Amino acid sequence: MFYKRNFLKSILPLIFLLLGFQSFAEPSIDEGKALFKANCNQCHNKDMKSDLTGPALGGVEERWADYDQADLYKWIRQSQKMIDEGHPKALELWDAWQPTIMNNFANLTDDQIAGILLYVDGVYKGTYGPKPADNVVGGGGTEEKGNDLPFYLMILGILAILALILARVVANLNHMADTNDGTATGHRKTLIEQLLSPGVIGFALFALILIGGYITVNNAMDLGRQKGYAPEQPIKFSHKTHAGDQKIDCQYCHDGARRSKHSVIPSTNTCMNCHSAVKEGSKYGTAELSKIHASAGWNPNTGKYFADDVSDETIEKEFKKWIGDRYKAAKGEDVKEKRVKAEVNAQWKAIAGFVNQPIEWEKIHNVPDHVYFNHAQHVSVGKVECQTCHGKVEEMEVVEQFSPLSMGWCVNCHRETKVQFADNPYYDSYEAYHNEMKKGTRSEVTVEEIGGLECQKCHY
List binders of ligand HEC among 96-115 (CB under 6 A): 97-98, 100-103, 105
Residues 375 and 261 sit within 8 Å (Cβ to Cβ):
yes
Q: What is the C-alpha to C-alpha distance for residues 124 and 429, in angstroms, rounded to an integer?
A: 55
Among 266, 197, 202, CA closest to 237:
266
Query: Contacts with ligand HEC in 416-435 (CB under 6 A)?
Result: 417, 419
Minimum distance of ligand HEC from residue 240's CB (angstroms)? 10
Closest to ligand HEC by CB, 152 or 361: 361
Element (H, E) at 18: helix 2-21
Residues 327 and 340 sit within 8 Å (Cβ to Cβ):
yes
Residues 247 and 254 sit within 8 Å (Cβ to Cβ):
no
Q: Which residue of 253, 294, 296, 344 would you call a contact of ligand HEC, by CB under 6 A?
A: 253
Minimum distance of ligand HEC from residue 418's CB (angstroms)? 8
Q: What is the C-alpha to C-alpha distance for residues 214 and 221, in angstroms, rounded to an integer?
A: 11
Q: Which residue of 364, 376, 395, 442 would you call a contact of ligand HEC, by CB under 6 A?
A: 364
Residue 361, interface with ligand HEC (CB under 6 A)? yes
Q: How many residues bind ligand HEC, per CB under 6 A?
A: 104
Q: Which residue of 11, 114, 116, 167 would you call a contact of ligand HEC, by CB under 6 A?
A: 116
Residue 33, interface with ligand HEC (CB under 6 A)? no
Closest to ligand HEC by CB, 8 or 272: 272
Part of the chain binding ligand HEC (CB under 6 A), chosen from 156-164, 191-199, 254-262, 350-358 = 254-262
Q: Which residue of 368, 429, 435, 444 would you call a contact of ligand HEC, by CB under 6 A?
A: 368
Minimum distance of ligand HEC from residue 123's CB (angstroms)? 13
3-class SS at 459?
strand
Query: Contacts with ligand HEC in 120-179 (CB under 6 A)?
Result: none
Residue 40, interface with ligand HEC (CB under 6 A)? yes
Part of the chain binding ligand HEC (CB under 6 A), chosen from 135-143, 189-197, 302-310, 377-385 = 377-385
Q: Which residue of 236, 240, 279, 320 would you call a contact of ligand HEC, by CB under 6 A?
A: 236
Query: Contacts with ligand HEC in 71-100 (CB under 6 A)?
Result: 75-76, 79, 93-94, 97-98, 100
Among 79, 72, 61, CA closest to 121:
61
Among 349, 247, 355, 383, CA closest to 296:
355
Q: Which residue of 6, 46, 48, 55 would you call a contact of ligand HEC, by CB under 6 A?
A: 55
**CA-based torsion, 294, 300, 304, 306: positive or negative:** negative
Kindly report the backbone phi and psi dihedral angles of residue 210, in degrees, each rounded to the nearest multiple of 5, phi listed first: -60, -50
Query: Contacts with ligand HEC in 215-234 (CB under 6 A)?
Result: 224-225, 233
Q: Which residue of 127, 190, 302, 388 would you call a contact of ligand HEC, by CB under 6 A?
A: 388
Minimum distance of ligand HEC from residue 141's CB (angstroms)? 13
Find residue 371's DSSP bridge partners.
Answer: 459
Q: What is the C-alpha to C-alpha distance for residues 251 and 263, in angstroms, rounded to an integer?
A: 8
DSSP, res 299 = E
Q: What is the C-alpha to C-alpha distance for residues 187 and 198, in angstroms, rounded to an integer?
A: 18
Q: Which residues, in sequence order, are CB contacts of 419 under 8 Å at separation 6+?
A: 382, 427, 445, 446, 447, 450
CB atoms within 10 A of CB 77: 17
Query: Contacts with ligand HEC in 9-28 (CB under 6 A)?
Result: none
Query: Contacts with ligand HEC in 303-322 (CB under 6 A)?
Result: none
Q: Which residue of 27, 132, 266, 297 would you call a contact of ligand HEC, by CB under 6 A?
A: 266
